[in-house]
Amino acid sequence: MFSLLSKPRRSARKPAPPEIRTLDVAGRLMPLTIKQHERATRITLRIEPGGRALKMTIPSGLAQREVNAFLDRHQGWLLTKLAKFAIDAGLRDGGSILFRGVSHRIQHTGSLRGLTEAVSIDGKAVLKVSGMPEHIGRRIATFLKKEARADLERLARFHARSISAPINSISMKDTRSRWGSCSSEGNLSFSWRIVMAPPSVVDYLAAHEVAHLKEMNHGPRFWALCKKLCPHTEESKAWLKRHGSQLHAIDFD
């Protein structure tokens, strides 16, 4: 995130609807959403999780020339921050993908039919993928979603039973702003991308959302319960902070 203090501007009119544009960052085209906020006193520029989009909040009535000048001045900052996000995730024959924290070499079987499966060949982790070569990314995503559901349903129900907290439903999504959520009705939602992380991190995410079934906040009691369910909470949080953005950045389409 980058911000710049600006003089507040007040307006009796309702803020304009968000402006959607494409920003060229050294040849990398980035979707940019610009939103006016009546109480904003500064320009705020954020890189969305995964590094595939930008979000800008500006004071209401700010002139376009000031917006453009701000973006021009911070091209270097954007370029530096976006450099850590991989543009090519290597989702092709001979490439690699993380699965349960282990890098798997992608092996295209050459067959149009068959299941995607993780195997060990000569002691090395391999992800065998069938189908058309141009569909490798989508077939890997389908495989990861299935495995994520199996892991998270098992872990979430295990933790929920340990604290006698009923779960209403469990769903998999591809959210970029959070790894999981818990509603007051007991509906748990998880990002299936978490299955690329080590099993201990997947376990932490399950425990985190289950803890919300008892504590719908992030106060001391919540964290105490989360750490009781998952003793490796701090290590897992640190792993997600270091590597989470890279998981979000992978484009499976």
Q: Which residue has the higher pLDDT, 129 or 85?
A: 129
Average pLDDT over the chain, rounded to an integer = 89
**From 79-88, 162-171, 176-185, the region with the lowest mean pLDDT:** 79-88
Taking alpha carbons only, the member of 124, 96, 122, 120 closest to residue 108 is 96
Taken in order of first residue, the domains within the chain and their CATH numbers are: 2-82 (no CATH), 96-249 (3.30.2010.10)
pLDDT of residue 36: 92
**Residues sharing a CB contact under 8 Å with residue 29, sequence separation 6 or more, in sequence order:** 22, 23
Q: For the chain, what percent of residues have pLDDT higher than 70?
A: 91
* Strands across the sheet containing 96-99: 96-99, 102-108, 124-129, 117-121
Token pair recorded at residue 121: 């060949």
User: In which band, very low, low, confident or very high, does the pLDDT at 15 lie, cut at 50, 70 and 90?
Assistant: low
pLDDT for the residue 198: 96
| Phi and psi angles of residue 191, each rounded to the nearest 5 degrees, phi first | -80, 125
Spatial CA neighbour of 3 closest among 45, 33, 60, 34: 45
Higher local confidence (pLDDT), 253 or 151? 151
Is the pLDDT at 1 greater than 60? The verdict is: no
The model's pLDDT over 86-132, given as tens digits with 9 standing for 90+, comes to 555 578 999 999 999 999 999 999 888 889 999 999 999 999 999 99
pTM over 0.75? The answer is no
Answer whether residue 248 shows pLDDT above 90.
no
Q: Evaluate if residue 6 carries a pLDDT over 50.
A: no
